[in-house]
A = this chain, B = another copy of it.
Amino acid sequence: MNKILYFSSDYQEGAHPNIIQTLVKTNLESTPGYGLDPYTDSACDRIRKACNCPEAQVELMVGGTQTNATCIDAILRNYEGVVSAKTGHVALHEAGAIEASGHKVLEIEAERGKMNASGLKKYLETYYADENHEHMVKPGMVYISQPTEYGTLYSKKEIEELSDVAHSYSLPLYVDGARLAYALASKENDVTLEDLAKLTDIFYIGGTKCGALFGEAIVIPDKNLVSHFLTTKKQHGGLLAKGRLLGIQFDELFKDKLYLEIGKDAVEYAKLIQDSVESSEKLSLLYRTPTNQCFIIVPNKKIDELRKHVSYGFWEKYDDDNTVIRVATSWATTEESVKELIKVLEEI
């Protein structure tokens, strides 16, 4: 029990072996740059099929913040902002990337990372009811994440409702799927890729946290939604020279439905960890999540001991005596390390 168990995030390891193998195999092939290669073509085709959306525009980028900033900037006009839960990644943890391209993040209340349709509707109604609303930033699109930053899931019904409200105000609905594989792998999830393509206007399928070295795949069901996306990508520093690296990775992730399977162990392991915490006397859950992130309330006096054994993420202060930590599993988490983690948690 003197080795460190790594649970601080879901981006601690490299990539799924299929990806590594293909990167090795194709390493010295010559292909055109900037995504004009056959691997990218193939990956985009597989993604269109998986979404049952043969006309969709699919774009590959390197990382999440980059993808969010680029998609949002591609959609909004200068006078518009993006509506987000106040806990949304774009609102809090992207170092002002959205504002840096000139757009305000319009924050609304959230519960466990989720906004709800009635809250969104009320926000929009209030905006338009204000006689001076033209002096305010116009809401131009809606941002949600699935799963959320809090590990929670929107149900299909909830996304339908958000979609209805957003569309009734002509606002595109955008879904940040940085951890989408862990939503798709959850038994509690009823939202498929096909649903996302039907109900939303733009979403991205996370690679970085879901089996790839890096990479996020943007899906735009109506390919007329944005224009000159390549120029916007380049302007945001997000046009990868060796674009095939993205193509190869998503091609592998969407072969044989790998992406739909890759999060399953992580979600199961997170369940075991949460079961263990719930049966613990000293620890408790902030709340139970259906995906790969566990939020555990730890007495401050146990923190130092825990840190000797486990690499975890600080989440927030709970009260003067307790701290919330985040433990994340991933596609690369091993059963053995989970058992060891549970043992540590039980013995602490």
Interface residues of A (CB under 8 A from B): 6, 8-9, 11-15, 17, 20, 23-24, 26-33, 62-67, 69-70, 73-74, 77-79, 81, 92-97, 99-105, 107, 126, 129-132, 134-138, 208-209, 213-214, 227-228, 230-232, 234-242, 245, 311, 313-314, 317, 332
Contact = CB atoms under 8 A, between A and B. Distances in A.
A20 B23 CA distance: 8
A39 to B, nearest CB: 11
Given A78-B101, A136-B93, A242-B14, A65 B234 contact: yes
Contacts of A313: 131
Nearest to A6: B30
Contacts of A104: 96, 99, 105
Contacts of A78: 73-74, 100-101, 232, 235
B14 A32 contact: no
A107 B40 CA distance: 36
Given A228-B138, A231-B134, A65 B239 contact: yes
Given A14-B28, A242-B213, A235 B96 contact: yes
18 contacts: A6-B30, A15-B27, A17-B27, A23-B23, A28-B332, A32-B311, A62-B240, A63-B239, A73-B78, A77-B77, A79-B95, A95-B232, A96-B137, A97-B236, A104-B105, A107-B107, A135-B231, A214-B245
A102 B231 CA distance: 14
